[in-house]
C-alpha cells in the first residue's frame, strides 16, 4: 500500500465530507477510494471514520490522524515546491502569521508587493493575537511584538512599537484625570486578556527616576480581542493600555486621550521570526525581503 497516497485520499474524504466527493476531487472511482480507506484502516488497526449513507464522521483517533496527515502532507508539498523553486523564480506557499490588527494594517499592503514582485508565491496568512508555535503550525514566518522568542527561532528586529495608556474624554470627566501613573491602579480598566492568563493586567510605566515599574490594573472587563477592548475604552468603561497602532487613529480624532506621554515605558521591538535551524528557501527569502523593507517604512510612518 502506498501510505502517502492513502493519506491523501483520507484527507480528501474528510475535507470533502463524503467518499463520493473525495472521488470527484481526486479524479478517482468511488470503489478505489473505498478500498484505499479500508486498507489504511486495516494497516493502522483502527477505525478512522464512522460512515452513514450520506456523510462520514471522524472518530477521535481519526481526527488526530487527520491533523497529522495534514501536517505531513504539507511538509512534503513544501519540500517539493522548494526544490522546484531553486531552479527558477521564487514559487510556492509561504505560511505567515501576524497579530490581527497589525496584519490588516501593515502586512496586507506588503502582500500586494510580494505578489507583484514574485507572482509564483502564494501567501497563506493566519491573523491571530495568540502567539502560535511555528514548528507545530508549519509556519515559515511570524511577525511578533514584544520580548525575544526562544533560542530555536531566529529574529530580525524591524522596528519598535510604542504603547499608550489612554481613556475616553467622557471617562476622565466622570472619574477624574489621574495625576500620576500609579493613580491608574485604583481606576476602572479594560484588560486585554489574549491567552486567558490575565497577563494583560500588569501595566508598565516609568517612575520619577525613569525606572520601569508595573502595577496591576483594576479590571472591570476582560476582553480577548483588541477591537472590542478599544470600543469599550471609547465608550468610557475604563482605562486602556494598547500598542500605538491599535489606538493611533482613535487618539488622532479625539475618541481617546493619551495619558502620561513622558512616563510611558520603552517601546517594544517588532520582529520577523523564522526557524533558526532551517535553510531559507527562495520562497521564504523573497517573503522576508518584501516584508522587512515595507514594514520598516510603515513603522517609521507611524512614529515608531
> In the structure grid, which three cell numbers stand for residue 22, read together?
473525495
pLDDT at 148: 67
Residues 212, 179: Cα–Cα separation, whole Å:
18
Average pLDDT over residues 52-60: 75
Average of per-residue pLDDT across 23-49: 88
pLDDT of residue 257: 96
2-24 mean pLDDT: 86
Contact between 59 and 251 under an 8 Å Cβ cutoff? The reply is no
The predicted-structure confidence for 212-256, as pLDDT tens digits, reads as follows: 888 888 999 999 889 999 999 999 999 999 999 999 999 999 999
3-class SS of residue 260: coil
Beta carbons of 260 and 154 less than 8 angstroms apart: no
Closest CA to 181 of 254, 266, 267, 264: 264
Condensed to tens digits (0 to 9), the pLDDT of residues 113-127 reads: 777 777 888 888 999
180 SS3 class: coil
Q: How far apart, in whole angstroms, are the C-alpha atoms of residue 154 and residue 19? A: 43
Between 78 and 265, the more confident residue is 265
Cα distances (Å, whole numbers) of residue 1 to 4, 29, 50, 139, 184: 9, 17, 22, 30, 66
Give the mean pLDDT of the chain: 85
Bridge partner residues of 218 (DSSP): 188
Quote the pLDDT of residue 84: 61
Q: Tell me 155's DSSP state.
A: E
Q: Domains in the chain, ordered, with CATH?
A: 3-83 (1.10.10.10), 90-160+268-302 (3.40.190.10), 163-263 (3.40.190.10)
| Lowest-pLDDT choice from 96-105, 120-129, 184-193, 226-235 | 120-129
What pTM was estimated for this model as a whole? 0.67
Q: Identify which has the larger pLDDT, 197 or 290.
A: 290
pLDDT at res. 170? 95
Q: What is the pLDDT of residue 304?
A: 43
Q: What are phi and psi of 92, to 5 degrees?
A: 115, 175
The pLDDT assigned to 240 comes to 94
Q: Is pLDDT at 71 greater than 60 in this prediction?
A: yes
pLDDT at 65 over 80: yes
Please indicate whether residue 89 or residue 52 has the higher confidence score (pLDDT): 89
Cα separation, 77 vs 73, whole angstroms = 6
Measure CA of the first residue to CA of the last residue in the chain; give whole Å.
57
**Regarding predicted confidence, which is higher, 16 or 250?**
250
State the Rg of the chain over Cα.
25
The 3-state secondary structure of 45-78 reads CCCCEEECCCCEEECHHHHHHHHHHHHHHHHHHH
Amino acid at each position: 500500500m502506498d501510505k502517502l497516497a492513502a493519506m491523501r485520499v483520507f484527507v480528501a474524504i474528510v475535507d470533502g465530507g463524503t467518499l463520493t466527493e473525495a472521488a470527484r476531487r481526486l479524479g478517482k472511482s468511488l470503489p478505489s477510494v473505498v478500498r484505499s480507506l479500508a486498507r489504511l484502516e486495516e494497516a493502522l488497526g483502527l477505525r478512522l471514520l464512522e460512515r452513514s449513507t450520506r456523510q462520514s464522521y471522524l472518530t477521535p483517533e481519526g481526527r488526530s490522524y487527520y491533523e497529522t496527515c495534514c501536517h505531513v502532507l504539507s511538509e512534503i508539498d513544501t519540500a517539493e515546491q522548494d526544490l522546484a523553486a531553486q531552479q527558477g523564480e521564487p514559487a510556492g506557499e509561504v505560511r505567515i502569521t501576524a497579530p490581527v490588527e497589525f496584519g490588516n494594517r501593515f502586512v496586507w499592503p506588503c502582500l500586494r508587493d510580494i505578489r507583484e514582485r514574485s507572482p509564483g508565491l502564494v501567501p497563506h496568512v493566519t491573523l491571530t493575537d495568540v502567539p502560535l508555535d511555528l514548528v507545530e503550525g508549519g509556519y515559515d514566518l511570524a511577525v511578533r511584538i514584544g520580548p525575544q522568542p526562544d533560542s530555536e527561532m531566529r529574529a530580525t528586529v524591524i522596528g519598535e512599537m510604542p504603547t499608550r495608556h489612554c481613556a475616553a474624554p467622557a471617562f476622565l470627566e466622570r472619574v477624574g484625570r489621574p495625576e500620576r501613573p500609579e493613580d491608574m491602579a485604583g481606576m476602572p480598566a479594560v484588560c486585554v486578556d489574549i491567552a486567558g492568563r490575565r497577563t494583560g493586567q500588569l501595566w508598565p510605566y516609568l517612575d520619577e527616576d525613569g525606572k520601569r515599574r508595573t502595577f496591576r490594573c483594576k479590571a472591570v472587563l476582560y476582553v480577548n480581542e483588541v477591537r472590542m477592548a478599544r470600543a469599550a475604552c471609547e465608550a468610557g468603561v475604563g482605562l486602556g493600555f494598547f500598542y500605538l497602532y491599535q489606538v493611533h487613529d482613535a487618539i488622532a480624532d479625539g475618541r481617546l486621550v493619551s495619558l502620561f506621554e513622558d512616563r510611558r515605558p520603552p517601546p517594544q521591538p517588532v520582529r520577523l521570526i523564522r526557524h533558526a535551524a532551517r535553510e531559507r528557501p527562495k520562497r521564504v527569502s523573497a517573503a522576508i525581503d518584501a516584508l522587512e523593507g515595507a514594514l520598516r517604512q510603515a513603522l517609521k510612518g507611524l512614529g515608531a
